[in-house]
Structure 1
Amino acid sequence: MATKIATGDHSFFTAGMAALAGLMFGLDIGVISGALDFIGKAFGAGDDAKEWIVSSMMFGAAVGALAAGVLSFRLGRKISLILGAILFVIGSLFCAAAWSVESLIIARVVLGLAIGIATFTAPLYISEIAPPEKRGSMISTYQLMITIGILAAFISDTLFSYSGAWRWMLGIVAVPGALFLIGVIRLPNSPRWLLMRGKTREAREVLTQLRGNKQRVDAEYNEIEEQLRRPQAGWSLFRENSNFRRSVFLGVVLQVVQQFTGMNVVMYYAPRIFQAAGFQGHMALWGTAIVGLVNVLATFIAIGFVDRWGRRPVLLTGFVVMFIGMGVLGYMLHIGTTTLPAQIFAVVMLLIFITGFAMSAGPLIWVLCSEVQPTKGRDFGIAASTLTNWVANFIVGITFLSMLNGFGSGITFGIYAALNLLFIFFTIFFVPETKGVTLERIESNLMAGKPLRNIGA
């Protein structure tokens, strides 16, 4: 039986769930950066082991995201989120209790499973249960809370660093996991999933609780039924239709682009970057907290301008800013930052890079990946791009310290700067402008064989 909630409470519960899902995702991205040096000292871990500690979560997330599609279909969105929340709490506490590098890696894989399930299922659930007029703002809240979670993790790490309490750094994030678990237990099942399973009476009951107005309930119920008459055919469509393969290709490459900007390198290894710039100890960790704050604030630029300027102009601006910020930072680290003004200038360039990402590739890649997939293949296309995100994330996380040790900081950041320059040209030649264009029009242009950059025309 669906969980009953008051008609007026649906916005509170849905927004709360979105915020907590995004928050715990952000916490896990950010929390490892401040704990890594303390973990290295506690277990005698070198850079190779640190790379595996960082990247093991992304491996687990890739597996979790892959499994989430099956889980959310068979068990439902709500049960999948409950499972993700339970794994999140277990994984966080397991990380805090780790007794070796190997046990910590296993714990991070468990945590990754939770994150993979949540990051796939939470936006899907929100889109299916939120009223249409609030859907965009709730998805935006989810993205914003990811950045707030990263900032909270950086600040928490900095405060715990004074006592070297790395176990508290990793374990404290079980708290939002527990809150998330309590929240999703009180939420109803998705009406769409209930209809997919033939539970028509429960679906109508949930819609009545969520919307209240009978005319609106009937209209939405009929719309869902009509959409479900066009079942997903992702794999067969991928095999048979070259135009659909183009949209999947675009979604996959966009996620690779997002990860290879170098942003998550900064998120996972920020204290190490500040040390390379000449800042040590607590100064490096407070610098990391500033990175998190800039990341939050710059996200509002994307929210404010994406529907005014359009996707392509914002993305192009972001990649130019990232190219300049990362390129100058790499040059400064190459020649050395031996004076305080040089160190401050290097940090400013890093913050400029962060601003470029948070205002563009951070939120907009997810928007584009959902917009360019046709209706019959949307689940398959989004699943493919989400899996790619975590695989690319894993590759970035497991190679950065090796590149830093092998090439030096200047060349390493120079490589990421060159990639951002390449992404400018990728955006020009392949990324469509989808501002104000209906999904139906985008799909029609795609299936008509128009060039990818013109499918939003």
Structure 2
Amino acid sequence: MTITYVTSKDPITPVRQTTYITTDPAALPTQTTYINVINTPRPQTNRWANKQKTHTATAGILLFAYGGMDMAQSLNWNLQTNIANTHELEFSWFIGVIIGALVASLSVTHVPKWCFYSLGGLMQMIDAIIFVSAPYNYTSIVAARYVGGAGIGLITVAFIIHNSEVATRSTRGLWCGLEQYGLALGIAIQVIIDSQWDTYSYVGVNCSHGIFGIVFSLIATGSVAMSVESPIFYLSKNDEEKARSCQWMLLPNSASTEACNEALDEAKRYVSASTSQSFGAELVGSITPFIKMIFSRCLVAFTFSLPLSYLMEISTFDSQGSLNWPIILWGILRWIGTIFTIALVDKLGRKFISLLGLLCMAALMLGMAGILSHSLNVYYMHQVCCISMAFQFFAGLYVACTPTYLGEAFPLRVKAILIGLIVCIEQVIHIIVIVTFAKKSDYFHYFLAVGIILAVAIIIFAVLMPETRGLTLRQTSERFRRVHDVMAY
């Protein structure tokens, strides 16, 4: 008889396994064998770390929400602040975003992303504290807007790169789209506050604006402490051990070792595809994706602008007699549109949803231009009000696809620089519109010009932009380098 004891790595008592052999027990002595089974369990990770995407999403949504509130203030939603509405007040936030995006684009490949979230959250906090402590001081408010804009610029570049790298190929559209989801939420909050706030309230609009910012910044900064860096970041630094640890924490608790190895191998291939060629060659190869993304991302500046805000205000007041429910619905519809997109973008595809949004926006924008070309009365103003609300819904559909495309378009080493540059160009368009269309009588030409731009963009988008649903980052960057790509699904 042979007695076998099977032991695990940390046994309490050995497991006894008895095997009977057809041999005379008296002829053979009893043999006892100990087999040590060595387990290779999944690395122990903090259970909160496994919720990394949720915490990063919480930080991103809240910080972008306050950024959306600042952005809305720049675009005429500061009606009851008792602050002089100058050009500097309007474009100061956009200049701040440009500064922050430039800094992030040059440093994000060298510094962990949590640093940008934390610094951006701190700058947002300073912005909010100034709004609460000096709500009627023009100089202080302008300074706060510069600081807050710089914080959003830092966060935008880091957030898009981070979420494009940590999300799976089947959820990348959801996680990247949260940038525009948060901005749309902030726009809705600011529009509702500014249009519905009681002017005789003890707490002014600017003070309430700052209170929102303090609460959002505190929660967001606390969430950053539980975030996990992208494995691609550590692989680019030749630190495979940390990359593997991060990859484990990004996977579900039920994931196997094979799943971790597969995800890590794909990340290695993505890094290798970038490092196998020179920086100059990679930059030259990114010219085509850069041109495509200018047409895609920079159209976002036309979906929420000073002329659109002013037209909604006067059309609602003329048709309703006050700034009541249409304003609230106008602010919320853009946010609802982003919800539809982030829920469907990984199922229906980025290109289909973007083309649908562009087509409807172009038709509605040209429709408003046609109405504005005639003499306006209450009936026409009611039409403009309804068209403006519909426009914001389809704008929400379109804009939430753009951060996904930004995160997918470029190879690794030039990604941060080109994303930062495109974000800066988007802000420059906002500033040009603010300065150029200061006179409200020029708004007909604005709507006509933008309607034509959107109509041309539909053709360009349909021919040039790829469909990247379900592809890895390595595959999407290859797809973007094609000159044309007419596949729509």
Please classify the TM superposition score into its range, dividing by the shorter chain length. 0.7 to 0.9
SS in structure 2 of the partner of residue 74 of structure 1 = coil
Contact between 1:32 and 1:170, CA under 8 Å: does it hold in 2?
no
Whole-angstrom distance in 1 between the partners of 2:145 and 2:319? 27
State the match for 2:55 in structure 1: 13
- In structure 2, the residue matched to 1:390 is 427
Q: Name the CA shift for 1:92/1:9 in 2 (closer, same or farther; >3 Å).
A: same
What are structure 1's unaligned runs of at least 5 residues?
Answer: none
Deviations 1:189-246 (A, max 9, x none): 444434444555544444444445561444444544454444467851366x3x4312
Match for residue 414 of structure 1 among 444, 448, 469: 448
Report SS of the residue matched to 1:452: coil
Report which of the two has the higher share of helix: 1
Q: Secondary structure at the residue paired with 2:98?
A: helix
Q: Equivalent of 1:155, from 192, 195, 209?
A: 192
| Structure 1 range deviating more: 56-65 or 93-102 | 93-102
> 293, 300, 303: which is aligned to 1:258?
300
Distance 1:8 1:438, change over 3 A: closer
> 2:158 matched to which residue of 1?
121
Distance 1:221 1:354 in 2: 40
- Equivalent residue for 1:350? 388
- The percentage of aligned residue pairs carrying the same residue is 17
Shift of 1:120: 1.2
Evaluate the alpha carbon distance shift between residue 15 and residue 428 of structure 1 in structure 2; reply closer, same or farther with a 3 A threshold: closer
- Native 8 Å contact 1:244 1:373 kept in 2: yes
Match of 1:71 in 2: 107
389-398 vs 203-212, greater mean Cα deviation: 203-212
Of the candidates 104, 116, 120, which is equivalent to residue 80 of structure 1?
Answer: 116
Equivalent AA in structure 1 for residue 209 of structure 2: L
Q: 1:175 aligns with which of 188, 194, 215?
A: 215
- Any conservation in 2 of the 1:65–1:117 contact (CA below 8 Å)? yes
Q: Which residue of 2 aligns with 1:61?
A: 97
Maintained 8 Å contact 2:178/2:400: no
Q: Which residue identity does 1:413 align to in structure 2? A: F
Contact 1:251-1:382 at 8 Å conserved across structures: no
CA distance in structure 2 between the partners assigned to 1:312 and 1:133 by the alignment: 15
Paired residue type of 1:419? I
Residues 253-282 of structure 1: per-residue CA shift (max 9 Å, x gap): 3223332xx32216x862563225644999
2: distance between equivalents of 1:237 and 1:443?
Answer: 14
Residues 117 and 206 (structure 1), Cα distance of their counterparts in 2 relative to 1, 3 Å cut: same
Q: Which has the larger radius of gyration?
A: 2
Letter in 2 for 1:297: I
Alignment-derived partner of residue 336 in structure 2: 297
CA contact (8 A) 1:82 1:184 kept: yes
DSSP 3-state at the match of 1:180: helix
Greater alpha carbon shift after TM alignment, 176-185 vs 390-399 = 390-399
- What do residues 386-438 of structure 1 show as CA deviations (whole Å, max 9, x unaligned)? 232222233234433x1425x2x333323322322332333344334445666
Contact residue 21 and residue 142 of structure 1 kept, 8 A: no
Contact 1:53 1:105 in 2 (8 A): yes
Report the Cα distance in structure 1 between the residues aligned to 2:269 and 2:448, rounded to whole angstroms: 52
The runs of 5 or more residues in structure 2 that have no matched partner are 1-44
Question: Secondary structure at 2:401's aligned position in 1?
Answer: helix
Cα 1:119/1:283, change in 2 over 3 Å: farther
Distance in 2 between residues matched to 1:364 and 1:154, nearest whole Å = 23
Question: Which residue of 275, 278, 288 corresponds with 1:246?
Answer: 288
The corresponding residue for 2:24 is: none
Does residue 1:359 correspond to 2:403, yes or no? Answer: no
- Does the aligned pair in 1 maintain the 2:119–2:151 contact within 8 Å? yes
The total of aligned residue pairs comes to 438
Paired residue for 2:357? 318
> CA–CA distance in 1 between the matches of 2:466 and 2:262?
32
Q: Supply the distance in 2 between the matched residues of 1:234 and 1:386 (Cα, whole angstroms).
A: 25
For the 8 Å contact 1:56–1:108, the answer to whether it is kept is: yes
* Residues 285 and 135 (structure 1), Cα distance of their counterparts in 2 relative to 1, 3 Å cut: same
Residues 5, 124 of structure 1: CA spacing in aligned structure 2 closer, same or farther, 3 A cutoff? farther
AA at the equivalent of 1:236: G
Out of 374, 378, 397, the position equivalent to 1:335 is 374
Q: Structure 2 vs 1, CA of residues 297 and 5 (structure 1 numbering), >3 Å: closer, same or farther?
A: same
Q: Residue in 2 aligned with 1:369?
A: 406
Distance 1:131 1:304 in 2: 15
CA distance in 1, matches of 2:165, 2:288: 26
More divergent stretch after superposition (221-230 vs 58-67): 221-230
Indicate yes or no: 2:314 matched with 1:275: yes
Amino acid at match of 2:280: S
2:280 maps to 1:236? yes
User: For residue 385 of structure 1, what is the amino acid of its counterpart?
Assistant: I
CA RMSD of aligned residues (A): 3.6
Query: Could you tell me the TM-score, scaled by structure 2's length?
Result: 0.76
CA distance 1:235–1:276, shift in 2 (3 Å)? farther
C-alpha distance 104-74 of structure 1, shift in aligned 2 (>3 A): same
Determine the C-alpha separation between the residues in 1 that align with 2:96 and 2:109.
20
* C-alpha distance in structure 1 between counterparts of 2:230 and 2:461, whole Å: 36
Partner of 1:38, secondary structure, is coil
Separation in 2, partners of 1:299, 1:138:
12
Q: Which amino acid aligns with 2:368?
A: L
Deviation at 1:322, TM superposition (A): 1.8
Instruction: Decide whether the 8 Å contact of 2:165 with 2:230 is kept in 1.
Output: yes
Match of 1:91 in 2: 127
1:29 Cα deviation from its structure 2 partner: 2.6
Corresponding residue for 1:26?
68
Query: Which residue number corresponds to residue 138 of structure 1?
Result: 175
CA distance in 2, matches of 1:132, 1:443: 13
CA distance in 2, matches of 1:356, 1:317: 8
Task: State TM-score, norm by structure 1.
Answer: 0.81
**Residue of structure 1 aligned with 2:80, choices 34, 38, 56:** 38
80-89 or 324-333: which moved more? Answer: 324-333
